Amino acid sequence: MTEDIQEVFLDATSTDTDAVRKVAALSVQQPHELIQPHALVRKKSARGNAHQRLRIGIMGGTFDPIHNGHLVAASEVAWVYDLDEVIFVPTGRPIFKIDKNVTNAEDRYLMTVIATSSNPQFTVSRVDIDRPGATYTIDTLRDLREEYGPQAELFFITGADAVAEILKWKDAAKMFDLAHFVAVTRPGYSVDVSFLPRDKVDVLEIPALAISSTDVRRRAAMGEPVWYLVPDGVVQYIGKHGLYSEDQE
Residues in contact with ligand DND by CB under 6 A are 60-63, 69-70, 73, 91, 94-96, 135-138, 158-159, 161-162, 169-170, 184, 209, 211-213
Where helices occur in 56-179 by DSSP H, the ranges are 68-80, 105-116, 127-130, 137-148, 160-163, 172-178
Query: In terms of CB distance, is 42 or 170 closer to ligand DND?
Result: 170
Q: Determine the Cα–Cα distance for residues 193 and 156; give it in Å rounded to an integer.
A: 15
Helices (H), 168-231: 172-178, 213-222
CB of 21 to ligand DND, least distance (A): 54
Sort residue 77 into left (φ over 0), alpha (ψ -120 to 50) or beta: alpha
- Nearest approach in angstroms of CB 249 to ligand DND is 18
Euclidean distance between CA atoms 144 and 102, whole angstroms: 24
Residue 8 or 81: the one with the smaller Cβ distance to ligand DND is 81
In this complex, which beta carbon is closest to ligand DND, that of residue 62 or of residue 121? 62
Min separation Cβ 211 and ligand DND, Å: 5
Residues 6 or more apart from 232 whose CB is under 8 A from it? none
Output 12 or 178, the one with its CB closest to ligand DND: 178
**Would you say how long the chain is, in residues?**
249
Give dist(CA 20, CA 169) in Å, integer. 60
CB-wise, 4 or 161, nearer to ligand DND? 161
What is the secondary structure of 130-158 as a DSSP string?
A: HS-SEE-HHHHHHHHHHHH-TT-EEEEEE
Residue nearest to ligand DND (CB): 159
Q: Are strands 153-159 and 180-185 parallel, antiparallel or unpaired?
A: parallel
Q: Please provide residue 56's backbone torsions phi and psi, each rounded to the nearest 5 degrees.
A: -115, 125
How far apart, in whole angstroms, are the C-alpha atoms of residue 11 and residue 2?
Answer: 14
Q: Are 52 and 82 in contact (CB under 8 A)?
A: no
